[in-house]
Structure 1
Amino acid sequence: MAKTFTHNISNSNVTNNFDNIMYDYASLISGAVSIIGCSLNLFLLCVLMSDKKFQAISYKLIRISVISDILSSLAIGIGYLLVSYEFTYDGGVILCRVVLFFTFTSNGVSMLNLCLIAIDRYYAILKPLYQGYHRRRKHIFFTSQILVWMIAAGYTGAIVPAIKVSHEDPTLCDLPDIATDNTIPIRMIIIVTLQYIVPCTSIAIIYFKIVSHQRNYVRPGENTFQNIENNKRKKKFINMLIAITLCYILITWPFNATLFGMSIVRKTAIQAILIYFYKIRSFRQIIHITKFQFYQECNFLS
């Protein structure tokens, strides 16, 4: 019996060592991916700041999303690259909380700003109450940014105190109290609601209204050739809006679905979430660049 017990302990140690090695390699790969994400972000930021015509509100909203992604990429990239160093338990807790605070806050800011971009486009194209909105546009922009950062930092700050680490590996972030603390699942559901459900639902509804408007709207005084060219441009515009919206919803769905699932089953899978979440951030920058090229071609931003 003692021999069997010793054999079980040995197998357990081998499994734990294998898991830790896999996590270390995955972390280093994610750290390398951060370089790609940061490079794409910095490129887009330089483009957005290279010309005075990029000072419109919509460009500023995109710029803020890019900056928040850069900050998040740096934080989580440095965090992943530090896993090779020895940390105490308290040091690991601080590292995980700092990295996750910047990561979750940045993701919330990006998603909420995408919602603000959709709202700004809605007023620019459909023009409901346009004069009143246009006069207060700058004031609305600054006020909305304060609210966006407060909301994102607020719900992130609510979950950060629950983040701890494994005693076996102080760089392995975890939510060990999720099964016993009834408030943790509630806080996670709030995060999913505010950073995914509300923005994505709003974006989908707004773009649907814009698409419906563009399909039915014909500029007065256009000749047949102008109508044909305008319809082609309109079709491209509609398809790109749909593609961009679907991309954002689909690439962020697994991350938020996992968070929601964790809150229901009350079991943690935080490392799988972080590795997936970080990898998709680099792909999100490709969508940013695609959007920028599309806006330029269609002269969409004003």
Structure 2
Amino acid sequence: MRGSVTYRCLVNLAVADFLVILLCLPPTVVWDVTETWFLGEILCKTLVYFQSVSVTVSVLTLTFIALDRYYAIVHPFSHRQQNEPIVHVKTIICFIWIVSLLFNSPDLFSLTTVQQPLRFDLPHMIQCQPTWSAHADLVWHVIKIVFMYAVPLVLLGGAYSLIILELWKSEQFPGQANCKHINENKRLSRRKVAKMLVAVVVMFAICYLPVHTLSLLRYTGVLDQLNNNDIVSSLALVSHIMCYVNSAINPVIYNFMSGKSP
């Protein structure tokens, strides 16, 4: 494991997914249910910022694992030459964290606590929200959707589609010698790997689609036209939980895949 790019990335993914569950789940559930931010201005900035950072690290790590698996399976000899030094994967992991910290920095500087009327019969309740305009907030969320959902989804789908085609068409795994007595086992193993790869892309697409869709509907004013606020609150809670489901299920999927992948 010390010399494996994939396993080191899996450790990084596990850390990011654990941070998603630890930092996002408790405060977000309370926030969605009560529609009140109880944790003050400092945590409004830092906690929400690191929530975004942990999600970004998870998404970028998933994307890098897909690209790494693509080169390992489709171009095995080139992959081995490029990834022998351990410094390579350490640099990639550091780069992922730096990009995640910088990419989400607008949240750190823009978020603050404000008092505003909500749907309950109470005078005011506290919310954690950005100080910039609604249009700027919409642009920021569109950027997040493009770079943290659409682009990674295209890369994941493309890389794993090419991997599946490579595994399906060949009689043996790339880079391995031809052994007739193990061809059937390799074929069964190949199909299992293909199913796991499909599961990765499908779960990522399904789990992150609701929260991004809801954000677009909220910031474009579509949700304001709905008269049933209970439905909106329920949708927000479900969409956030779906993101945490993805972080919780990643270890299960990659546990099966890592045991069979080259």
Query: What 5-or-longer segments of structure 2 have no aligned partner?
Result: 32-36, 116-123, 225-231
Q: Does 2:14 align with 1:66?
A: yes
Q: In the alignment, which residue of structure 1 is the partner of 2:75?
A: 127
Q: Distance in 1 between matches of 2:157 and 2:131?
A: 36
1:126, 1:210 within 8 Å by CA — same for their partners in 2? Answer: yes
Q: Which stretch has the larger CA shift, 146-155 or 271-280?
A: 271-280
Q: Distance in 2 between matches of 1:55 and 1:275?
A: 39
Q: Which of the numbers 131, 138, 143 marks the counterpart of 1:190?
A: 143
Query: Secondary structure of the residue that 2:125 maps to in structure 1?
Result: coil
Q: In the alignment, which residue of structure 2 is the partner of 1:215?
A: 168
Q: Does 2:214 align with 1:258?
A: yes
Q: In the TM superposition, what is the alpha-carbon distance from 1:271 to its structure 2 partner?
A: 9.6
Q: Does 2:251 align with 1:288?
A: yes
Q: In the TM superposition, what is the alpha-carbon distance from 1:115 to its structure 2 partner?
A: 0.7
1:173, 1:270 within 8 Å by CA — same for their partners in 2? Answer: no
Identity %: 17
Q: Distance in 2 between matches of 1:240 and 1:68?
A: 21
Q: In the alignment, which residue of structure 1 is the partner of 2:240?
A: 277
Note the 1:75-154 alignment, pairs <5 A.
75-77=23-25, 79=27, 92-127=40-75, 129-136=78-85, 138-154=86-102
Q: In the alignment, which residue of structure 1 is the partner of 2:229?
A: none
For each residue in 1:193-235, what CA deviation from the matched residue of structure 2 results, as whole angstroms up to 9, or x when unmatched? 2211121111111001101100111236332x53333222212
1:173, 1:271 within 8 Å by CA — same for their partners in 2? Answer: no
The one-letter code of the counterpart of 2:151 is V
Structure with larger Rg: 1
Q: Distance in 1 between matches of 2:42 and 2:233?
A: 16
Cα 1:189–1:166 shift into 2, 3 Å: same
For each residue in 1:120-143, what CA deviation from the matched residue of structure 2 results, as whole angstroms up to 9, or x when unmatched? 11121112633541344x333222
Q: Distance in 1 between matches of 2:129 and 2:238?
A: 13
Q: Which stretch has the larger CA shift, 74-83 or 59-68?
A: 74-83
1:118, 1:206 within 8 Å by CA — same for their partners in 2? Answer: yes
2:72, 2:80 within 8 Å by CA — same for their partners in 1? Answer: no
Cα 1:178–1:276 shift into 2, 3 Å: farther
The one-letter code of the counterpart of 2:251 is H
TM-score, normalising length from structure 2? 0.76
Query: Secondary structure of the residue that 1:173 maps to in structure 2?
Result: strand
Cα 1:81–1:206 shift into 2, 3 Å: closer
Q: In the TM superposition, what is the alpha-carbon distance from 1:77 to its structure 2 partner?
A: 4.5
Structure (1/2) with the larger helix percentage: 1
Q: Distance in 2 between matches of 1:263 and 1:152?
A: 23
Cα 1:233–1:135 shift into 2, 3 Å: closer
Q: Distance in 2 between matches of 1:77 and 1:295?
A: 27
Cα 1:270–1:174 shift into 2, 3 Å: farther
Q: Does 2:128 align with 1:173?
A: yes
Cα 1:100–1:273 shift into 2, 3 Å: farther
Q: Distance in 1 between matches of 2:217 and 2:258?
A: 37
Q: In the alignment, which residue of structure 1 is the partner of 2:120?
A: none
